[in-house]
Amino acid sequence: MAARAFPPSLHYQGLNAPVRMEVDIRDLGVEGEIPAEIAGAFFRAVPDPAHPPMLGEDDNVLSGDGMVARFLIQDGSVDYSSRYVKTARFEAERKARRSLFGKYRNPFTDDESVAGVDRTVANTTPIWHAGRLYMTKEDGRAYAIDPITLDTIGRWDWNGALKSETMTAHARIDPETNEMFAFGYEAGGLASKDISYFIIGADGELKSEQWFEAPYCAMVHDFAITEKYALFPLFPTIADLDRLKAGGAHWVHQQDQPSWIGVMPRYGSVDEMVWIEGPAGVHAYHFMNAFDDGGVIQLDVCLSDTNAFPFIRSASGIDRHQSQVKSSLSRWTIDPAARTITEREVGPPGDLPMIQKKDQGRTYSHGWYITYDPRQGPPIPAGPVETACNTLFRIEPGNGRIEALGMGPTRAINEPVHVASSQPGHGGWLLAVVDEAVGDGFKSALWVIEADEVAKGPIATVPLPVPLRPQVHGWWVPAAELEAAAAAAA
């Protein structure tokens, strides 16, 4: 009989306690004032397991059912809504009233009643492109979501055009052409080395899809584009089909294996791909940005000297505590002609980088990211790193200038989104959910922060009357784009 209670692990307690509520709250209270220019929707992807893991075993947060949440901001008022993504997996488990899917990304551990059922939980990034909202996770195709009702429209393959079985949660949208550049790894099936590289036009149609083979089957969480190139960085966190068949872990980080960067012209053929060998054993989840710089490419990466996720290190026999993982914001200068990579540290450890939409793939002056600073207090367990962030950085990677907002010992900050301003000389705002330990639980609030003056702290806060679980990624959609999409659908 399946477990009826969540196991007593840190993955289901404190800030990680499952919330499981689909809510609509109109007119949250606002402390301070939200500038009128902030009008639109802040979508958030939140893993929130609807059922205890199968057989009562512990599981990692990446398996949590995708919840799409939205702060709708207009004329200084804020509404909040949340809905589960009605994936095939969610629906099957809801009907059975229990978990039917086993270990993270291992279908050989599933209940036989769900053989062949799509396993993705669509819990990683809400992506807005060409008037459509998607909930994404790298192990499956995207799910289209109605941006107004948050109802699930369904698994999305661009009307049968996309052949890849998977799509990244980190698509990149060119700010001038409005094309979406995306990829899927394990495109041809479990543990396959196939990567699909595809482009969706500004009209929302699939324009091209090409497949290539990677040196090994890596976890390719993110990629980058410049005006000229598409970059596919591979780090040696590697899948193995035989291990999966034996019921083992999807990912093992191989510290002795090299990293690789595949570089090709972004509108070119995959036959033009050049593979450049990088340092061994390193790993990154996210890239801040990349841009062309004369004959070379600059790639700013939140780099670690091993995999930053404890559950992957433990499956890999890497006996290192989180405090022993060395990380930094690094600039990789990639010379595609000479096939070389040189590395320079440009910022402190941290992850979940954010840039202005207009800077994607371009020379840029600054961005933001978050980190855990141990000087402020012990870690609050949250997210796949099991450590919530307590500091927000604004950084100028070109010169190392940095401004920080420390949250203190009782607060955690989730990944912010950037809202642009049309006022000349105004750098816009950041919106982020901040969770605060109060009594033996947590209270969450939306914070509004001046993007160029983060150290000032929030100019407005919006407390929530319900608990929120830690977010993965978010996306800001201006009101005008939401209205245009609603008008086109009507």
**What residue ranges bind ligand V55 (CB under 6 A)?**
47, 62, 123-124, 137-138, 221, 285, 384, 472
Q: Which is nearer to ligand V55, 64 or 347 (CB)?
A: 64
Q: Which is nearer to ligand V55, 109 or 421 (CB)?
A: 109
Q: Which is nearer to ligand V55, 222 or 435 (CB)?
A: 222
CA distance 360 to 343: 21
Q: Check residue 389 and report its DSSP letter.
A: B
Q: Check residue 322 and report its DSSP letter.
A: G
Shortest distance, position 62 Cβ to ligand V55, whole Å: 4
Shortest distance, position 118 Cβ to ligand V55, whole Å: 14
CA distance 354 to 344: 20
Residue with tokens 């009594």: 439
Shortest distance, position 88 Cβ to ligand V55, whole Å: 17
Shortest distance, position 60 Cβ to ligand V55, whole Å: 9
Which residues pair with residue 447 across a beta bridge? Answer: 432, 461
Shortest distance, position 412 Cβ to ligand V55, whole Å: 16
Shortest distance, position 124 Cβ to ligand V55, whole Å: 4
Q: Which is nearer to ligand V55, 119 or 266 (CB)?
A: 119
Shortest distance, position 308 Cβ to ligand V55, whole Å: 9
CA distance 451 to 186: 37
**Angstrom distances, CA of residue 371 to CA of 13, 187, 390, 394:** 22, 32, 6, 11
Say if residues 349 and 26 touch (Cβ distance below 8 Å). no
CA distance 355 to 363: 11
Task: Output b/e per residue, 438-465; b: 16+ Cβ within 10 A.
Answer: eeeebbbbbbbbbbbebeeebebbbebe
Contacts of 38 (CB under 8 A, 6+ apart): 73, 419, 429, 431, 448
Q: Which is nearer to ligand V55, 118 or 138 (CB)?
A: 138
Shortest distance, position 221 Cβ to ligand V55, whole Å: 5
Q: CA nearest 442: which of 14, 11, 47?
A: 14
Neighbours of 393 (CB within 10 A): 22
Shortest distance, position 285 Cβ to ligand V55, whole Å: 5
Q: Which is nearer to ligand V55, 54 or 122 (CB)?
A: 122
**How far from the centroid of its chain's Cα atoms is residue 224's Cα?**
14
72 token code pair: 């709708």
Q: Which is nearer to ligand V55, 377 or 379 (CB)?
A: 379
Q: Which is nearer to ligand V55, 135 or 199 (CB)?
A: 135
Say if residues 52 and 2 touch (Cβ distance below 8 Å). yes
Q: In what order do the strands lie in the sheet with 340-347?
A: 283-293, 296-304, 327-335, 340-347
CA distance 172 to 184: 13
Q: Which is nearer to ligand V55, 101 or 229 (CB)?
A: 101
**How far from the centroid of its chain's Cα atoms is residue 61's Cα?**
13
Q: Which is nearer to ligand V55, 249 or 264 (CB)?
A: 249
Which alpha helices (DSSP H) does 362-428 contain, by range? none
CA distance 169 to 163: 17
Contacts of 188 (CB under 8 A, 6+ apart): 165, 194, 211
Shortest distance, position 345 Cβ to ligand V55, whole Å: 22
Q: Which is nearer to ligand V55, 201 or 216 (CB)?
A: 216
Residue 391, H or E segment: strand 391-396
